Amino acid sequence: MQSAKQEVSKLLERLPDDCELEDIQYHLYVLQKIERGLKDADEGRIYTQEEVEGKMAKWDDRIKLRGCKS
């Protein structure tokens, strides 16, 4: 596994020279979220398709109760 510094350095090499600081921050954010998701999956913290659909249905019901359009 690479160190955080190595990962950032590798990321910076892939980005264009004229990118903005916001672009770098965004890519770091995405990289961090991907790493977290992979770690969660490795540690068994995942949902089945059915579990996700059940959670989404509950959220949809809450939105409808509030009178919001989905």
Task: Give the domain ranges of the chain.
Answer: 4-65
pLDDT tens, residue by residue, 2-33? 899 999 999 999 999 999 999 999 999 999 99
pTM of model > 0.75 = no
The torsion of the CA quartet 63, 46, 40, 23, rounded to 10 degrees, works out to -40
Q: What is the pLDDT of residues 38-49, one digit of tens each?
A: 999 999 999 999
